[in-house]
Amino acid sequence: MEIGFIGMGIMGRPMALNLLKAGHRVAVYNRTAERCAEVVAAGARQAQSPRDCARGNPVVITMVTDSLDVKEVIFGPQGTAEGASAGTVIIDMSTISPDETRSFARRLKEGGIDFLDAPVSGGDTGAKKGSLTIMVGGERAVFERVKSVFAPLGTRITYMGPSGSGQVTKACNQILCAVNLLGVCEAIALAERAGIDPRTMHQVVTGGAANSWALEQLGARIIAGDYSPGFKVNLIQKDLALVLDAARRLDLPLAGTALATQFFRSCQSHGDGELGTQAMFRALERFGNFQLERKE
C-alpha cells in the first residue's frame, strides 16, 4: 500500500521503517527535514509538506506531539486535508484530546475523508520491534478497510469503538503508567533507605504478583542510573493533562494521577523534562533527601 507518514520522532521514525520493511511504499514528512534522513535512506520518499505527503496516498499516518500539531498538519496551510482525496483514511497515532479527535473526524468527513484515532503504547522499544499495542477509534468499516496497515507496527491491535474511543483508552493506559511508575519509584526508594540492595529487591519482586512492565523495564533503568528517554517527562505531562481535563469534564476524581503529575512537575522544575519518565525517581530522591547508591 502507498502510505504517507508525518512525524519522524522517537516513535514515528522506527514505525515508518517497519512499514517499509513490510513492503509498503512510504512518503515521509517532518518539520525538521533532517529527521527524515534515515527513513529516506531506507527507501522512503521525502515529501515537502503534509499536503505533498498525502497526495496520491490512500492512507496517511500522523505521529506528532499534541492536538495543536495534529490540527496544523491536517488543516493548516499545505495540510494533509488539501492533498487527500475522497476516501483517503487519515490515521492519527499521536496521543491527543478525545474531544479534538471527534472534532477532526467530523470536519474531515464533510470532505469525504475518513479519520481513525489509533494511539499506541509500548514506547520506543515497541516501535522498533513492531510490538506496539494499538487502540483504535472511528468507524468500524474504515478500520476493517485499513487494518492491515497496523500489522507491521503492533502485535495487539484492538478496535475500541466510535471516534475518540482510542484516545480515551490511551488515557486509561497513561493513568496506569504514571501511577504504576510512582509505585516502582517508592519501592526502590524504600529498599535503598532500609539498606536492602535495590538490584536484589528488583530481582525478587519481578518474580511475584507485583511485577509489571514498568517495574521490569523502568525499575531496572532507575537502578542502573539510566534516565535516557524512551518516553519523556514532558510528554507524559502532556498526556496526563489530557487525562485530568477529561476527568474534570466527567466530575471524576483521579487522586493518584494528580499526585503523579506533581512528581513529574518537580522533574520539570529541575530541568529534567527531556529525560525519560523514570526520572520521577530523581524527584523522590530530592523529596526524601537521599541518593541511590549505584554499585559497579
* Confidence at residue 152, expressed as pLDDT on a 0 to 100 scale: 98
Domain ranges of the chain: 2-163, 169-288
CB-CB contact of 71 with 38 (8 Å) = no
pLDDT one-digit tens code per residue, 30-65: 999 999 999 999 999 999 999 999 999 999 999 999
Q: State the chain's mean pLDDT as an integer.
A: 96
Q: How confident is the model at residue 179 (pLDDT cuts 50, 70, 90)?
A: very high
25, amino acid identity: R
Catalytic residue among 128, 170, 232, 295: 170
What dotted CATH number matches 2-163? 3.40.50.720
Cell numbers at residue 188, please? 526502590
Query: Is the pLDDT at 294 greater than 90, yes or no?
Result: no
Residue 295: the pLDDT is 67
Pair 73, 6: CB distance under 8 Å:
yes
> Average pLDDT, stretch 174-190?
98
Which long-range contacts (C-beta less than 8 Å, at least 24 apart) are formed by 289-293? 290/189, 290/192, 290/193, 292/188, 292/189, 292/192, 292/198, 292/222, 292/223, 292/225, 293/192
pTM for this model (two decimals): 0.92
Check if 147 is active-site.
Answer: no
pLDDT, tens digit, 9 for 90 and up, residues 262-284: 999 999 999 999 999 999 999 99
Q: Please tell me the CATH superfamily of domain 169-288, with its number.
A: N-(1-d-carboxylethyl)-l-norvaline Dehydrogenase; domain 2 (1.10.1040.10)
State how far the Cα of 64 lies from the Cα of 73, in Å rounded to an integer: 9
CA–CA dist 219, 198 (Å, integer): 9
pLDDT, position 124: 86
